Amino acid sequence: MSPLISATELTAILNNEKLVLIDARSGPNARAKYEKEHLAGSMFVDLDKDLADIKPDAANGGRHPLPEPEKFAELLGRLGIAHNSHLVVYDDMSGANAASRFWWMLRAAGHSTVQVLDGGYQAAVAAGIPVSSVKEQAKQVDPYPFKAWELPTITIDEVAKAVHDPDYLVVDVRDAARYRGETEPIDLIAGHIHGAVNIPFQSNLAQDGTYLSPEALREKYATALGGRDMEHVVVHCGSGVTACHTALAMDYAGLGIPTLYVGSWSEWSRNDRPIGTGA
């Protein structure tokens, strides 16, 4: 199954009884926006509360560390997600934020029938998909049966070794100004992991906010990856959320899913590790 679904394709399966729609918009007003208007039937997930286990100190795991599998399994059960459910998840940032994170977590839980809505909420509204402001009720099921994350992740110490190993490529998907250390709107220190390369996630998108074609993405990344297998390709961002956008792009291109550094810059920059600036 493609990791992406267009608004037109979603329209054709809206009556599928196995379909579960997930609204993963994030930010301080996300729930209010959901309550005001959302795709009819969609259930809301909160990036900070549902898709992360935030700690008091981001130096240990970053700003959005993964929750324990048992906690995520319980969330899926509350949302009515079973092993045969078809998940479609959207946000309002072209899948660049919590939608792609939710996709990665479902795939890491062993669930393959999950797709991100290409173009996000805006594309759905433009396509005439019904919206609603009613309080949705999920048909709860048992916790999803998985015990451990199945996709590869990497620790801060392993990243420190990887940036010196030519068999590895560490990709920073933040925008170029943050990578160069010219600005840092969220974390304490500006710059990048010394040895990482910068391929901003925005370059995965066309001007209309949808993903580039699989062929264009494959051509773009094939050169950068230099033939490395995906276990040796590490993606990161500020806190392990937007990096999943690039993981999805690589999978959409037919390259597979790379290794995710969940702690990302928010962890690295708080641990007295080598920091680079400039291009």
- The answer for 172, left when phi > 0, alpha when psi is -120 to 50, beta otherwise, is beta
Active-site choice (114, 237, 248, 255) = 237
Rounded Cα distance between 259 and 234, Å, is 5
Decide if 237 is catalytic: yes
Stated length of the chain: 279
Active site residues: 237
